[in-house]
């Protein structure tokens, strides 16, 4: 991609108030597309786009999210920056698979937290679970975002460049105060190696990996999984799904509704037909109470 075209695309994204992360993602995808053919995108068309998508699927084994990001970036480039609207129908989007999130039981969450000895790391992950925050949101928290008077946490410029408030539980507030007394952060609540830079996603992932192994959990626990647990456990406790949608910062209710697919309260609210077969249940009970077979 030529320097002039790149700058024009950057300007187009800035005018539309795209987040820095989205800008970088779009530019990276368009740059890869251009490098694949060794030409500027304004010299490429539908056939090259199709060839590139096939390449991503067959050779790069790209995930749905990567494919979707590539589609969004190319659609923006051709529709907005290059103003070639006629190409858009030739950039098909991949069908999103329904992948259910990993959810831990409350007991498993407790076991996970018990294995995190570092106070800062434990506070980060407990904040993630207690408020249902994204990794980028919890690492961006500042002292001024903790409103102990209203018992709220302000999430500034979350996904989609939107502010929102989430609950601040008393237990979390007590933990945050204990952490502050020891760590004394000046501005960023959870700085990394440097006071003016947040802790990295990679560092948090490493903490999760070690705690998961130490707790001997057979589920993959990440900060994202703790956000899933927040939503599912609220749903199982009887919280309104629209309230959960607001707390999570979801634009669409359908995104929040997927937690009904993993909620124990939803899935176990109806008895299995096996439990209705009287004779079969009696046979199972006999087997359960029978003496073990000795060789």
**CATH class of domain segment(s) 106-266:** mainly alpha
Residue 133: left if φ>0, alpha if ψ -120 to 50, beta else—which one? Answer: beta
Question: Please, what sign has the CA dihedral across residues 41, 42, 43, 44?
Answer: positive
For the chain, the domains span 3-90, 106-266
Q: What is the CATH number of domain 3-90?
A: 1.10.150.130
pTM flag (> 0.85): no
Q: Do domains 3-90 and 106-266 have the same CATH topology?
A: no
Q: pLDDT tens string for the chain (295 positions)?
A: 678 999 999 999 999 999 888 999 999 999 999 999 999 999 999 999 999 999 999 999 999 889 999 999 999 999 999 999 999 999 999 888 777 788 899 999 999 999 999 999 999 999 999 999 999 999 999 999 999 999 999 998 767 678 899 999 999 999 999 999 999 999 999 999 888 899 999 999 999 999 999 999 999 999 999 999 999 999 888 888 899 888 998 888 877 887 877 777 666 666 667 666 665 656 667 666 666 655 5
């Amino acid at each position: 991609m030529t320097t002039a075209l790149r700058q024009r695309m950057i300007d187009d994204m800035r005018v539309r108030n795209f987040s820095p992360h989205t800008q970088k993602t779009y530019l990276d995808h368009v740059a890869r597309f251009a490098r694949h053919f060794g030409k500027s995108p304004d010299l490429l068309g539908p056939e090259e786009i199709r060839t590139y998508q096939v390449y991503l699927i067959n050779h790069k084994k790209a995930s749905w999210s990567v494919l979707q990001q590539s589609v969004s970036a190319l659609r923006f480039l051709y529709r907005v920056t290059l103003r070639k609207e006629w190409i858009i129908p030739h950039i098909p989007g991949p069908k999103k698979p329904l992948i259910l999130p990993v959810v831990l039981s409350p007991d498993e969450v407790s076991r996970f937290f018990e294995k995190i000895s570092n106070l800062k790391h434990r506070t980060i992950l407990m904040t993630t679970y207690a408020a249902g925050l994204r990794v980028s949101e919890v690492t961006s928290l500042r002292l001024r975002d903790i409103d102990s008077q209203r018992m709220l946490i302000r999430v500034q410029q979350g996904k989609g460049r939107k502010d929102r408030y989430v609950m601040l539980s008393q237990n979390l507030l007590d933990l945050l105060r204990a952490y502050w007394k020891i760590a004394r952060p000046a501005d960023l609540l959870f700085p990394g190696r440097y006071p003016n830079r947040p802790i990295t996603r990679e560092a948090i992932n490493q903490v999760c990996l070690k705690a998961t192994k130490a707790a001997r959990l057979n589920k993959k626990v990440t900060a994202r999984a703790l956000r899933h647990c927040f939503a599912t456990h609220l749903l199982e406790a009887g919280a309104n799904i629209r309230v959960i949608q607001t707390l999570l910062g979801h634009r669409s209710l359908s995104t929040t509704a997927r937690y009904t697919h993993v909620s124990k309260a939803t899935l176990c609210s109806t008895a299995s037909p096996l439990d209705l077969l009287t004779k079969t249940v009696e046979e199972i009970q006999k087997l359960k109470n029978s003496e073990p077979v000795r060789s």
